[in-house]
Amino acid sequence: MQKENTLTVGQWCGQWFTANRHKWNGNTEGGYRNLIYSHILPSIGSVALSDLTEQTITDFYDTLRSQRLSARSVWCVHLLLRRCMDEAAQDQLIPYNPVRLCQEPNAEEYKTAPLRLGQLHRYLNEAEQLGVLPLIYTGLSSGLRQCELITLSWADFHVRYRYILKGQRLLSLNAKAEHLLKQMPETDSPYVFLNPKTGAPYKLYEFYYLHKKILKQARLPWVAFRDLQCQCMEVGI
């Protein structure tokens, strides 16, 4: 259950920095301090933690770029804010980490190459070995946002007609997604995809670590799920 909180983004980032600073060396601590107090707090520090959204964060990145902050610095802000909000989600101060829904800013020297077709198949094969292929394949092939994917209910699906109605968004299913969904065992839960460890829908950070585990066990380089999703939809996998 989510805890009630009245914290702002600035207050939480300050608390997080103070609680974790002993773990970092002097250079890391100084770098994080600069990112938080020079960039995050002046722009979005007054935003209520519970009101932080994907759009707010995307606008924040655009503001940093308009201030001529380097691409690498914007990327570093993103990584730090994502890490900070991961802990807020784990502490149940927010239901999920909205930073993970944002397109990761490009930093030219840190951009990851797209996976080759053979590597995509290795990723899917590993997902199948872990028993999560219906979840992963539906996410990659449908265009669902991660927060939509993990909260899908059977009422959202119209498998016979191959479409998903999520809120105001109408998304199509391909034949393989239809087949995988029809093969799923029935449960008493209204949700489609349940974390086998908890019996409940995945939390956003749990889905992130699942994606990371698949990449690691398939011996693949890091690529964000959202970027992988775009690539899969382009090649029609």
Q: Where in the chain is the domain with CATH 1.10.443.10?
A: 117-235
Tokens of 227: 């970027």
The three-point CA angle 128-130-134 to 5° equals: 45
Report DSSP letters for 54-95, one per residue: HHHHHHHHHHHHHTT--HHHHHHHHHHHHHHHHHHHHTTSSS
Give the gyration radius of the chain's Cα atoms: 19
3-class secondary-structure state, position 164: strand
Residue 76 to residue 136: CA distance in whole angstroms: 28
Residue 71 to residue 92: CA distance in whole angstroms: 31
Superfamily per CATH, domain 117-235: Intergrase catalytic core (1.10.443.10)
Q: Where in the chain is the domain with CATH 1.10.150.130?
A: 9-110
Which overall architecture, per CATH, does domain 9-110 show? Orthogonal Bundle (1.10)
Residue 188 to residue 48: CA distance in whole angstroms: 36
Helices (H), 130-222: 133-142, 146-150, 175-182, 204-217
3-class secondary-structure state, position 191: strand
pLDDT in tens, the chain (237 residues): 445 678 999 999 999 999 998 888 777 888 889 899 999 999 999 999 999 999 899 989 988 887 878 788 888 899 999 999 999 999 999 999 999 988 888 765 445 567 888 999 999 999 999 999 999 999 998 878 888 888 888 888 776 556 677 666 677 778 888 889 888 887 889 999 999 999 999 988 788 889 989 999 999 988 888 788 878 876 667
